[in-house]
């Protein structure tokens, strides 16, 4: 904190040629309590502190997902650190302009010294009051949001722990910046001492040298080292097997003795996918017809050397398992670690009594939220190559012979990978028999184009495109009735997106830093509190942190879609003559 005196007038003539202002207008200060050696690091800029408090307080406003005290501390701390940077940068620029210096000098001449002496205590008291008021309001907002999604609401005492955590989080980046500035000052002094360069040139050289060193450290040591550690950590997890899941013995599963894909190479999620599933009795009861053993083909990251080889191996595996004689072949683009959610496979197999084939490939070791940030290109490559390979194999079936319906599926980043196989909505409809995309990231190209061109008056959280003629959107309770709402025709093949108003994966975008999105201009979605608003930078951090706990909410909210996948499959790929009673029978059987 700066001392409570007034800084000496900068040694610069603010009035141009002529006499300087009388010395009586210049108030000198003595050493403040934080000017002692070792304490100068604790000083803070007044404008920086004011903006930091404002940003940190606004970060306590609600976002999409209920936050506990840890998540709130992170959101508050990060926002406050950004606010401090904004405030100090603005103050620095003001003090470096002639107009700013004149205004600064004029203000100091007209503000009595006693007022300046009490300015800091007033600022500190105001900061504490603002933070406490926003803490109480924040608890109330979090309680509303928790009740809206059906979880336990927080208490004021427990939530208050976010404040000290927020201070620590905010202090960390500020300390790093000060270390860099200190290094810059030391470097400037060294350059001037040994090279006798003018101060401005030495300063420029120091900035360039320091930037090169930091970039080299980040690019050569920090980032590669971090990615190596993360990759090794999750590759070790990939080698594990979920308890209770054993190698399949039937010929319709990858990893079996007859399979072209060794069990050991499938990865943790792949082994679960091929070893799981409902038995024939359950599938027959659910579908209302005799059941057969469903085909599940999977190729792990270690099963083949590259994405093209994995796609080719997957098609050969499908051929070996007899997949192209089934009613439906579903091409699944996985998320992150290669995960395929159980309801995705169980629901489709229950609808068709097992007369299905599902195929997926793994493209990453990383968990979903890390894959969402770093694995977009790999997901698109994997999805495109697999879909193209399966489509080419089906097209090769001679005319007159039965051929299966090909449907595509992707959840979260998997939807981005699945979309990547198609150039347009017309391309999707021309080359598939249906598409179900769940929780699509905001960066999905096709999704963005369709949402941007939605019918006038339809909200971004539940858009209508071309009166629902070729593509529809649903989520929550609306999924079961998407075929009837809107009442206009829905031409096959059906393309369906499932999205929740409270899903941060759907709504996170870098543009939140500077632009208010439509979904925060229009009426809020059904599971988003009306108090949520947009603030530059702050809302970006809030929704970014929401990504981490997007699945820590009950089904039907956030990024949790298990309860809606059955209705999604029925809307996209139901067998001929399927009824609502059939859907409820499947739902009841799977629930048991």
Q: How confident is the model at residue 217 (pLDDT cuts 50, 70, 90)?
A: low
Tell me, yes or no, whether 351 lies in a domain: yes
CA distances from 468 to 56, 213, 434, 486 (A): 42, 55, 15, 6
Count of structural domains within the chain: 1
Return mean pLDDT, the chain: 86
Backbone angles phi and psi of 591, in degrees to 5? -65, -30
pLDDT of residue 390: 98
- pLDDT score recorded for residue 173: 85
pLDDT, greater one: 376 or 428: 428
Alpha-carbon distance of 493 to 572, in angstroms, equals 7
Does 540 map to a domain?
A: no
For tokens 């990759």, what's the residue? 231
In angstroms, the first-to-last Cα distance of the chain is: 63
- Give the Cβ contact number of residue 452 at 10 Å: 11
Least confident range of 98-112, 251-265, 543-557: 98-112
Confidence class of residue 227 from pLDDT cuts 50, 70 and 90?
low
Q: Is 415 within a domain? A: yes
Plot region of 255 (φ>0 → left; ψ -120 to 50 → alpha; else → beta): left
Q: How far apart are CA 340 and CA 297, in angstroms?
A: 12
Q: For residue 114, is pLDDT > 80? A: no
More confident residue, 260 or 191: 260
The span from the CA of 407 to the CA of 127, in Å, is 57
Confidence of residue 202 (pLDDT cuts 50, 70, 90): low
Q: What does the pLDDT look like over 366-408, one tens digit per residue?
A: 776 666 666 678 889 999 999 999 999 999 999 989 999 999 9
Coil, helix or strand for 333?
Answer: strand
Among 460, 358, 480, which residue's Cα sits nearest to residue 414?
358
Span 9-48, pLDDT tens digits: 444 444 444 444 444 444 444 454 555 555 455 677 888 8
Q: Which domain range does residue 301 map to?
A: 241-500+561-591
Residue 479 lies in a domain: yes
471 in any annotated domain: yes
Predicted confidence (pLDDT) at residue 464 exceeds the cutoff of 90: yes
- Comparing 205-219, 235-249, 402-416, 566-580, the range with the smallest average pLDDT is 205-219
- Supply the pLDDT for residue 460: 96
Q: What is the DSSP string of 203-241?
A: HHHHHHHHHHHHHHHIIIIIHHHHHHHHHHHHHHHHT--
Least confident range of 47-51, 112-116, 316-320, 492-496? 112-116
- Tens digits of residue pLDDT in 80-95: 999 999 998 888 888 7
Is 142 among the domain residues? no
Of 379 and 469, the structure prediction assigns the larger pLDDT to 469
CB 302 within 8 A of CB 270: no
Q: Which two tokens stand for residue 587?
A: 């739902």
With beta carbons less than 8 A apart as the criterion, state whether 541 and 132 touch.
Answer: no
What is the pLDDT, as a whole number, of residue 496? 98
Q: Listing from the earlier edge strand, what are the strands of the sheet with 295-299?
A: 295-299, 356-361, 328-333, 405-411, 435-438, 495-498, 471-474
- Position of tokens 């191996």? 313
Mean pLDDT over 579-590 rounds to: 96
Domain assignment present for residue 136? The answer is: no
- What is the pLDDT at residue 236? 72
What's the rounded Cα separation, in Å, for the pair 368 and 269?
12
pLDDT of residue 16: 44
Structural element, H or E, at residue 357: strand 356-361
Tally the residues of the chain.
Answer: 592
The pLDDT assigned to 441 comes to 93
Residue 181 has pLDDT above 60, yes or no: yes
What's the pLDDT at 197? 74
Question: How many Å apart are CA 68 and CA 300, to the nearest integer?
Answer: 36
Question: Tens of pLDDT along 351-360?
Answer: 999 999 999 9
pTM above 0.95, yes or no: no
Question: Would you say residue 406 lies in a domain?
Answer: yes
Sign of the torsion angle spanned by Cα atoms 275, 276, 282, 286: negative
Residue 103, pLDDT above cutoff 80: no
Residue 288 Cα distances to 271, 285, 353, 571, angstroms:
29, 5, 8, 18
């Amino acid at each position: 904190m700066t001392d409570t005196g007034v800084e000496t007038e900068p040694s610069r003539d603010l009035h141009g040629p002529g006499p300087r202002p009388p010395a009586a207008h210049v108030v000198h200060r003595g050493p403040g309590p934080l000017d002692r050696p070792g304490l100068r690091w604790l000083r803070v800029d007044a404008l920086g502190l004011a903006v930091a408090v404002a940003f940190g307080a606004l970060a306590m406003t609600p976002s999409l997902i209920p936050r506990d005290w840890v998540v709130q501390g992170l959101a508050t701390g990060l926002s406050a650190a950004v606010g401090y940077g904004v405030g100090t940068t603005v103050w620095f620029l003001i003090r470096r302009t002639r107009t700013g210096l004149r205004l600064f000098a004029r203000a100091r001449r007209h503000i009595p010294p006693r007022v300046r002496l009490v300015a800091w205590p007033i600022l500190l008291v105001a900061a504490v009051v603002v933070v406490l008021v926003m803490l109480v309001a924040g608890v109330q907002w979090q309680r509303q949001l928790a009740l809206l999604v059906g979880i336990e609401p927080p208490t004021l005492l427990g939530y208050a722990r976010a404040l000290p955590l927020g201070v620590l989080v905010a202090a960390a980046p500020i300390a790093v910046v000060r270390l860099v500035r200190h290094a810059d000052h030391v470097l400037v002094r060294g350059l001037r001492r040994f090279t006798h360069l003018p101060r401005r040139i030495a300063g420029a050289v120091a900035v360039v040298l320091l930037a090169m060193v930091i970039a080299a450290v980040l690019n050569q040591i920090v980032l590669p080292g971090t990615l190596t550690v993360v990759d090794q950590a999750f590759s070790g997890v990939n080698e594990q097997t979920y308890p209770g899941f054993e190698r399949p013995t039937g010929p319709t599963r990858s990893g079996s003795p007859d399979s072209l894909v060794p069990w050991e190479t499938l990865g943790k999620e792949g082994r679960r996918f091929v070893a799981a599933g409902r038995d024939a009795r359950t599938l027959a009861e659910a579908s209302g017809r005799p059941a057969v053993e469903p085909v599940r083909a999977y190729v792990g990251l270690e099963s083949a050397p590259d994405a093209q080889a994995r796609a080719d191996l997957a098609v050969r595996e499908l051929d070996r398992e007899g997949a192209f004689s089934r009613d439906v072949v579903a091409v699944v683009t996985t998320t992150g670690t290669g995960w395929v959610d159980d309801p995705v496979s169980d629901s489709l197999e229950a609808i068709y009594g097992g007369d299905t084939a599902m195929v997926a490939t793994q493209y990453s070791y990383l968990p979903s939220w890390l894959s969402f940030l770093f694995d977009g290109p790999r997901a698109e490559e994997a999805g495109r190559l697999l879909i193209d390979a399966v489509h080419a194999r089906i097209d090769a079936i001679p005319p007159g012979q039965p051929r299966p319906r090909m449907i595509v599926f992707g959840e979260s980043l998997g939807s981005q990978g699945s979309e990547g196989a198609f150039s347009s909505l017309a391309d999707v409809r021309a080359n598939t028999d249906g598409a179900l995309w769940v929780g699509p990231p905001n960066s999905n190209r096709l999704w963005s184009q369709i949402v941007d061109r939605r019918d006038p008056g339809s909200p971004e959280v539940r858009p209508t495109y071309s009166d629902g003629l070729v593509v529809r959107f649903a989520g929550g309770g609306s999924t079961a009735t998407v075929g009837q709402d809107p009442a206009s025709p829905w031409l096959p093949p059906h393309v369906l997106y499932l999205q929740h108003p409270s899903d941060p994966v759907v709504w996170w975008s870098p543009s939140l830093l500077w632009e208010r999105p439509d979904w925060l201009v229009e009426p809020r979605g059904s599971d988003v509190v009306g108090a949520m608003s947009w603030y530059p930078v702050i809302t970006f951090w809030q929704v970014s942190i929401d990504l981490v706990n997007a699945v820590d909410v009950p089904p039907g909210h956030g990024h949790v879609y298990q309860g809606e996948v059955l209705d999604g499959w029925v809307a996209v790929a139901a067998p001929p003559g399927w009824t609502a009673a059939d859907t409820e029978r499947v739902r009841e059987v799977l629930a048991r």
